[in-house]
Amino acid sequence: MNLGLDDNVVAAAVAAAGTVIGALIQLRITWRKEVSERARGVPMTKKSRRGPVLAVGLLLSAAAVGGFAFSQYLMKQSDREAAALRDGELKAQLTQIRATAERLERVTLNDHSSSARTADGEGVSVTTTVEPCHARAGIVTDETPACTEQDAVRITLCANLPASAVVTATVLYARPEDSPRPWSESRVAPGQDVGRARFADKPFERAETDQSKQVCTGFYSWDGEHAYSARLVAQYVLTAAVTDVPSAALVPVSGAGQ
């Protein structure tokens, strides 16, 4: 049976066991010899008296070696238990770290207003939800929709940028609020109808403060049954980084190719 002991401890234990057995054999031989000599009336000599003393000395030596081996065994057991406890604590910490990282990742993915670095520079996104429109007072029939384009809910969607930013592209997304379609498949062009909603034909900029400005676009919905989610992503570079964009302007980026 392997108890996880090293060679030195095993050798000490074997030596102790051998010494004990040898000492017991020596004591037995000495005792039987002494009994036989007494039966014959032979007087005791110094040499015969040293026999039991030698055997007892061997027994004490064996006990010392055995005690050392046993103490080493207990030490090894304690070390293994401490190592197992450390491994358990380390695994628990790693599990907690992974769970925290997953929560942070989910929070980042669900952030509707965020800044991200892209291949073309910086990107800022902003998202809003437009409620269903309410038709003007009148008669609504099966042939007449509840809302017309004149009844559309109109909002302005704006992303905040540094005043020194030069917008290189604007990307637009729209979808019904209850749609399972991901944003990556909901990209639209300016002026393109999305069901009963659409973005304005062109985005525009307006100053906000000395340090910031906004890039904006309009969004209109005349759907009386569904709310719509609209997203504007503005990509830009800072003025100091503009070297290859001599005439940078608001460039709508559209299409479902991405």
In-domain check, residue 40: yes
Residue 255: per-residue pLDDT = 46
When divided into structural domains, the chain yields a total of 2
Q: Which residue has the higher pLDDT, 61 or 191?
A: 191
2 within some domain: no
User: 129 and 206 share a domain?
Assistant: yes
pLDDT at residue number 199: 95
Assigned domain for 204 exists: yes
The pLDDT score that the predictor gives to residue 60 is 66
Per-residue model confidence as pLDDT tens digits over 6-48: 666 666 666 667 676 766 776 777 767 766 766 766 565 655 5
Distance, CA of 15 to CA of 130 (rounded, Å) = 88
Question: Which pLDDT tens digit goes with each residue over 176-204?
Answer: 988 888 998 999 999 999 989 999 999 99
**Of 63, 79, 109, at which residue does a domain stop?**
109
Question: How many Å is the maximal CA-CA distance in the chain?
Answer: 142
Residue 80 sits at φ, ψ, to 5 deg, of: -65, -40
What's the pLDDT score for residue 44? 55
* 34 and 92 assigned to the same domain: yes
240 and 121, same structural domain? yes
Choose one of 55, 90, 109: the last residue of a domain: 109
Q: Which residues constitute the domain of residue 34?
A: 7-109
Residue 258 lies in a domain: no
Is 246 in the same domain as 121? yes
Handedness of CA 135, 136, 137, 143 (dihedral sign): negative
- Residue entry with tokens 């942070």: 104
pLDDT per residue as tens digits for the range 214-252: 999 999 999 988 899 999 999 999 876 444 444 444 545
Q: Are 220 and 197 in contact (CB under 8 A)?
A: yes
Is residue 1 assigned to a domain?
no
Q: Rounded distance, CA 113 to CA 185, Å? A: 19
Query: Phi and psi of 173, rounded to 5°?
Result: -135, 145
